[in-house]
Amino acid sequence: MVGLLLIIVRDNVLYEGIISLKSEKGYYATPIGFTIRGNNIYIKVYHGSLTHSYLSTIRKTVLNITDNPYIYLYLAFKKEFNGLNKVSFIEVEDNAPVLEEAKAYAILYLRDIIPCLNYDTFIYNYNTFVTRNPDIEPLSRCNWLAIEALIYLTKLFKIRDSGVEVSNMKTYLNHVFRIMERLCNDPYHKELVNNLFKLYISISGNHNNNYLF
């Protein structure tokens, strides 16, 4: 079943999604933060990343909406989890690969790139969001805490120094993991949190925390 996505999207709110595109090397997808202003979608991408390279040269991309935290995990750490081989794509039109698990998507067309010091802001036009799955599971704090942890883990992975910013990230991640330890007690989320925490230990080198996952 395909139809218009009847959701409220608010201007200038930072949302999370997955962008997917088709390059000369095949399909590519990665988690991304985005904001909506009118009929435009704004995406900030740091210089030097593969995502930045692709978005700078490929004018059509897909913004996928999913609340499955495993998709974010696999695609944020593609090398560690062989992530691109754990997801599937459907081309709804030429060079527009949609994640098979996406509950909704929008096809984006690059309008402009605004250069900044450490990142560029990509501005896209889009028409509407389209649903592919009418059965949307209610949001859970575990899922969104997992995605929040992933956002900070990817930042920590890129920085990897001992500055104040990294110290603050570690403090915040410790707080997130404590909440997840208390709330996420089902097998599905326990496995997810274990994977996240192992990544945190690997990236931060902090072996002093003992969470009972």
| Domain extents in the chain | 3-131, 141-204
Model pLDDT, residue 2: 44
Phi/psi-derived region of residue 205, left when phi > 0, alpha when psi is between -120 and 50, beta in every other case? left
Do 53 and 45 touch, CB atoms closer than 8 A? Answer: no
Instruction: List per-residue pLDDT tens for the chain, 213 residues long.
Output: 344 444 556 677 788 899 999 999 999 999 999 988 988 999 999 999 999 999 999 999 999 988 889 999 999 999 999 999 999 999 998 999 999 999 889 999 999 999 998 999 999 999 888 876 665 555 577 888 898 999 899 888 887 666 777 888 888 898 998 888 888 887 888 888 889 989 988 887 765 555 444
Q: pTM (2 decimals)?
A: 0.78
Tokens encoding 16: 């999370």
DSSP states along 73-91: HHHHSHHHHTGGGG--EEE
**Rounded to 5 degrees, what angle do the CA atoms 94, 6, 43 make?**
55
Q: Which CATH architecture does the domain made up of 3-131 adopt?
A: Roll (2.30)
- pLDDT tens for residues 108-133? 999 999 999 899 999 999 988 887 66
